[in-house]
Amino acid sequence: MKPTLLRTLSFFKPYWGLLLISALCSAVVGGMDGAFAYLVEPVLKKIFAGKDTGIFLLVPVGIIALFLVRGVARFTYDTAIKLAGQKAIQDIRNTLYASTIRQDMAFYNRTATGELMSRMTNDISQMQEGIGQVVSGLFRDTISAVSLLGVIFYRNWELAIISFVVIPATAYPAQLIGKKIKNASSRSLNVMGGLTATLQETFSGVKVIKAFGLENQIVSRFRATNLEYFHQIRRFIKYESLAMPVSESIISLGVAGVIYFGGSQVMSGHMTASEFFSFIAAMVMVFTPIKKLQGSYNVVQRSAGAAERVFNLLDERRTIVDRPGAADIGRSSGRVEFRNVSFSYGAEPILQDVSLTAESNRMIALVGPSGGGKSTLASLIPRFYDVSEGAILIDGRDIRDVTVASLVSQIALVDQETTLFNESIADNIRYGKPGASLEEVVEAARAAFAHEFIEQLPDGYDTNIGDRGLRLSGGQRQRICIARALLKNAPVLILDEATSALDTESEQMVQKALDNLMVNRTTFVIAHRLSTILHADTIIVLEKGHIVERGSHEDLLKNSSLYSRLHALQFSDRTTGDDPSAES
């Protein structure tokens, strides 16, 4: 708990100026509570005992002045402390996002996207609520409680001890309840993570849900998780609602003691009535900040659950990082060598003793039965994963000896997912080369055979990908991705070809765009189109993680090889598409 709290507080460091302003103002606000309770005694004495008419007129004016000053101080305090809280939360969210987006692919494989979204939104909101409430009350309520306690002890320390004997008795149940609140909060956030994951999965997979008529099933699953969330929240509500009545009941014992013993002292003449009123005023006033502080403790407990989850995510270690002394690779010639590479995601070996060399500007096609390891092999080049054994070299240098940033700058990737972001088409292409001029963007789009259709869009290159009504075809999206890769102009290209059936015209356009993209680059094609494979310098046939055949299209066809069988299969059933990677 303590490290979590300290860690949260460390995010406030840059905003110490705002904290200082709020501390000073809260001293004014809190101190005035004490002053107010203290002044009850002389004022009452003068009014009732001395019949002082002067002070009688001064009191209302004084009260207005006091509350004016208090109001200004409180406004400044609240604004400064809440701004500091918001800024700290903003920094936490930025830090978390920056660290998560840099995580390894392995991390993304084992973590549901919805779960991550939940941490970024629900958990951070919970933290924000905690920080907001605590920081806005902590200074003020502490100073207010201390100044009022000062008045109480000053007026009558014996009576003060009687009344405060009960305070420690409230600590134990408060702590117990706080712990329960924290556990319930953590559990409810876990369930909320699952709920967000379900939302993410089902909204993005809505096509399948509709096609299989799974709506009812999905809704019942959602209802069940939502009910579980309610159960967790119900526990949480119960404990939170219990906190106040428990402490108030214990405190009432103290109040009863004060009335009894204080009243006796006034009657026996050991204390004046105005002193007693001042004591009672301070006593009544002090319970408000004390109760608030106790409430803050519960909020802290609740936020601590969320903060722990946020920090756990922040502490996830990356394995794909720069080695000490890693150098910038510069611009490579694009010669890629796999030297006795083995790889596994877990216990199961996926690639075994794979050796191959792609000379600069050559084209290597990876084919073979589904699950043979083609995509895995390609994903090792940009270090999405590190090899388990052996090494991958670019221009003779182990890719683990160069910086990750310089390595990825050597590689352009065009895959089946055709990922476009909710920005303008120009900006989507510009991701290939941040800061590229519009002329460069247009040139890349022309080479990708995308310029024509982009120009016909309502806002041309400024058309937003997320605009309502913008319906880009699969082939058009692919050509935008190809333009992006063209603009990157990297010496190595990884092409995970789309299997999605494009119509013939669209396929031809995409093929022409790809032909342009492949010029003067070392290209690894995970091939699904026969036309691409025909031009490959080397075809690598992967089966169960082993290279079983390699050679040119003609060489491989000459033998009664796996490749020739895959090839024959395609020709015998053109309706399945030109897909030599299909299961043999």
- Where on the chain is the footprint of ligand ATP (CB under 6 A)? 109, 345, 350, 370-376, 581
The least distance separating ligand ATP from the CB of residue 544, rounded to whole angstroms, comes to: 9
From its phi and psi, is residue 408 left (phi > 0), alpha (psi between -120 and 50) or beta? alpha
8 A C-beta contact, residue 372 and residue 568: no
Q: Which residues contact 95 (CB under 8 A, 6 or more apart)?
A: 314
The least distance separating ligand ATP from the CB of residue 415, rounded to whole angstroms, comes to: 11
The least distance separating ligand ATP from the CB of residue 370, rounded to whole angstroms, comes to: 3
Complex with ligand ATP: residue 480 or 526, whichever CB lies closer: 526
Complex with ligand ATP: residue 111 or 361, whichever CB lies closer: 111
8 A C-beta contact, residue 341 and residue 353: yes
Complex with ligand ATP: residue 150 or 474, whichever CB lies closer: 474
Complex with ligand ATP: residue 426 or 542, whichever CB lies closer: 542
Distance CA 14, CA 202 (A): 41
Encoded tokens for 538: 């080397």
Complex with ligand ATP: residue 350 or 448, whichever CB lies closer: 350
| 473: helix, strand or coil | coil
8 A C-beta contact, residue 525 and residue 544: no
Percent helix, percent strand, percent coil in the chain, to nearest 5: 65, 10, 25
Complex with ligand ATP: residue 100 or 344, whichever CB lies closer: 344
The least distance separating ligand ATP from the CB of residue 554, rounded to whole angstroms, comes to: 24
8 A C-beta contact, residue 100 and residue 49: no
DSSP letter string, 87-138 = HHHHHHHHHHHHHHHTS-HHHHHHS-HHHHHHIIIIIHHHHHHHHHHHHHHH
Complex with ligand ATP: residue 451 or 528, whichever CB lies closer: 528
Q: Which residues contact 195 (CB under 8 A, 6 or more apart)?
A: 114, 118, 222, 225, 226, 229
Complex with ligand ATP: residue 379 or 409, whichever CB lies closer: 379
The least distance separating ligand ATP from the CB of residue 441, rounded to whole angstroms, comes to: 31
The least distance separating ligand ATP from the CB of residue 75, rounded to whole angstroms, comes to: 55
Complex with ligand ATP: residue 344 or 463, whichever CB lies closer: 344
The least distance separating ligand ATP from the CB of residue 111, rounded to whole angstroms, comes to: 12
Q: What residue type is 235 in one-letter code?
A: R
The least distance separating ligand ATP from the CB of residue 577, rounded to whole angstroms, comes to: 13
The least distance separating ligand ATP from the CB of residue 242, rounded to whole angstroms, comes to: 46
Distance CA 381, CA 408 (A): 9
The least distance separating ligand ATP from the CB of residue 545, rounded to whole angstroms, comes to: 7
Complex with ligand ATP: residue 217 or 370, whichever CB lies closer: 370
Question: How deeply is 471 buried, as exposed, middle or buried, from its count of CB atoms within 10 A (0-12, 13-18, 19+)?
Answer: exposed
Q: Which residues pair with 411 in a beta bridge?
A: 492
Question: How many Cβ atoms are within 10 Å of 346's Cβ, its own excluded?
Answer: 7
